[in-house]
């Protein structure tokens, strides 16, 4: 039995995970984002009924495996915080922490659509984008715990299929990214970023679901937006596959609910990778909101 918490910027999703991935006593409480002491106290309170049982945490952030310092951009009190040691001391129990996208990938590899695959790269297409690499049933942490962050490096340049006029009116702007850089894939690939991209491409101020619905109806403006989107995202994922050799890519997040988008993205990716295959690589994830908790339950101490 493992106590698990999936921590986002709005809520802490908590449950007891039994063998086989059965969730019990699941509850959600607001995330105290501005006060570290209150944040730790919230976790301690959730764990009180189960003394001594380990707590595993999936978090929308990164823990440096060398230092134990956590950085979570959308939870201000966790910027540069030694969260694991603080909770371990206050809750008097073993604590393990991993990135929520890593936990998502691990859960899909153990319990979901990627069962039976030894090389899995899970991707999140949500408000932002994220990912996790699972090799032989374990998360690949890598340098500073950042393995899988395929959305955070400057990749945005002029789309090769679009004619750039002298005034560069067709060049995608180098939008500022939350990680501090400019031109990251995350600036055009997440749900909010897709909405901004649609505005830049000449579309109306509408939400990402409406953009995808218009694209599926064949509306030209949405098709222009998605042509840029698919070009960049598929190119980045082709790099991911060529480097990691991932055999299957479960897709989660809000945009991942669009089967049409996943099919189009999968085809574009397979057109760009070195190894020709007719078998889909990108597939819809199956575990939904349980993935973070289930993946956290599978963490092992190094």
Say if CB 64 and CB 104 are below 8 A apart. Answer: no
Cβ neighbourhood burial of 133 (10 Å; 0-12, 13-18, 19+): buried
Chain segment 119-156, per-residue pLDDT in tens: 999 999 998 899 999 999 999 988 888 888 898 888 87
Say if CB 185 and CB 232 are below 8 A apart. Answer: yes
Beta strands 55-59 and 2-7 are parallel
Neighbouring residues of 210: CB distance < 8 A, sequence distance ≥ 6: none
Quote the crossing angle between the two packed helices 259-270 and 220-244, to the nearest 10°: 50
| CA atoms within a 13 Å half-sphere pointing along the CA-CB vector of 141 | 14
**pTM of the predicted model over 0.95:** no
What pLDDT is attached to residue 184? Answer: 87
The domain locations on the chain are: 2-103, 115-285
Say if CB 103 and CB 133 are below 8 A apart. Answer: no
φ/ψ of residue 208, rounded to 5: -65, -35
Say if CB 102 and CB 57 are below 8 A apart. Answer: no
Per-residue pLDDT of the chain (302 residues; tens, 9 = 90+): 999 999 998 999 999 999 989 999 999 999 999 999 999 999 999 999 999 999 999 998 889 988 999 988 789 999 889 999 999 999 999 999 999 999 999 999 999 999 999 999 999 999 889 999 999 999 998 888 888 889 888 887 644 444 444 343 456 777 888 778 888 888 889 999 999 999 988 899 999 999 999 999 999 999 999 999 999 999 999 999 999 999 999 999 999 999 999 999 999 999 999 998 999 999 999 999 999 999 999 999 86
Q: Do domains 2-103 and 115-285 have the same CATH topology?
A: yes
Say if CB 262 and CB 251 are below 8 A apart. Answer: yes
* CATH architecture classification, 2-103: 2-Layer Sandwich (3.30)
Q: Which CATH superfamily is domain 115-285 in?
A: ATPase, nucleotide binding domain (3.30.420.40)
What pLDDT is attached to residue 165? Answer: 40
Distance separating alpha carbons of residues 298 and 224, to the nearest angstrom: 42
């Amino acid at each position: 039995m493992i106590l698990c918490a999936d921590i986002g910027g709005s809520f802490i999703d908590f449950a007891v995970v039994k063998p086989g991935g059965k969730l019990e006593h699941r509850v959600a409480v607001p995330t105290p984002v501005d006060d570290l002491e209150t944040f730790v106290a919230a976790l301690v309170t959730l764990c009180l009924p189960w003394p001594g049982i380990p707590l595993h945490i999936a978090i929308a952030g990164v823990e440096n495996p060398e230092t134990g310092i956590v950085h979570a951009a959308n939870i201000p009190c966790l910027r540069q915080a030694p969260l694991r040691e603080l909770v371990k001391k206050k809750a008097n129990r073993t604590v393990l922490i991993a990135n929520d996208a890593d936990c998502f990938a691990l859960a899909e590899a153990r319990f979901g659509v990627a069962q039976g695959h030894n090389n899995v790269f899970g991707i999140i297409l949500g408000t932002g984008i994220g990912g996790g690499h699972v090799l032989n049933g374990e998360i690949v942490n890598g340098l500073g715990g950042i393995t899988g962050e395929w959305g955070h490096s400057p990749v945005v340049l002029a789309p090769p299929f679009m004619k750039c006029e002298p005034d560069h009116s067709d060049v995608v702007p180098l939008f500022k990214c939350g990680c501090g850089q400019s031109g990251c894939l995350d600036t055009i690939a997440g749900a909010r970023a897709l909405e901004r991209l649609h505005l830049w491409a000449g579309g109306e101020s509408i939400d990402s679901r409406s953009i995808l619905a218009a694209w599926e109806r064949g509306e030209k403006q949405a098709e222009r937006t998605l042509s840029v989107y698919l070009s960049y995202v598929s190119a980045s994922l082709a790099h991911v596959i060529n480097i990691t050799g991932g055999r299957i890519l479960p897709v989660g997040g809000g945009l991942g609910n669009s089967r049409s988008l996943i099919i189009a993205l999968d085809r574009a990716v397979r057109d760009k990778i070195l190894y020709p295959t007719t078998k889909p690589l990108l597939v819809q994830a199956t575990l939904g909101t349980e993935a973070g908790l289930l993946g956290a339950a599978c963490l092992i101490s190094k």
